[in-house]
Amino acid sequence: MDTKTTSSKKGIRRKNIDIPEDAYRLLSAKATEQGTNLKKYIEKLLIEEAEDIEDAELYAHICKTEPEGRIMASKEEQVEFEKWLGV
């Protein structure tokens, strides 16, 4: 499956994906059943999935895949990150 990521509007990422024909047909039918188009249906599914990710689950994954994820950020790094988040 090929993918390509580009930036578009602020806070939005564009991702081109290739999906198997049978998945395309099934998802299109499901989208139509729900009164929407395929693009909006897939976006909704992805947003719901992202919202369901638990912080502890995400942290456990980061600790396994990125060892530096276990090192506490310095006060300077925390301030910089909060500034980046806009909080």
Contacts of 86 (CB under 8 A, 6+ apart): none
Q: What is the pLDDT at residue 10?
A: 76
Counting the structural domains of the chain, the total is 1
Could you report the per-residue pLDDT of 6-27, keeping only the tens digit for each?
655 678 889 999 999 999 999 9
> What's the confidence (pLDDT) of residue 27?
98
Structural domain containing residue 19: 3-85
Rounded distance between C-alpha atoms, residue 83 and residue 85, angstroms: 5
- The one-letter amino acid code at 30 reads K
Per-residue confidence (pLDDT) for residue 37, from 0 to 100: 97
E-only strand ranges, 1-87: 3-7, 13-17
Per-residue pLDDT for 3 more than 70? no
How does pLDDT run across 30-70, given as a tens digit for each residue? 999 999 999 999 999 999 988 888 888 888 888 888 766 56
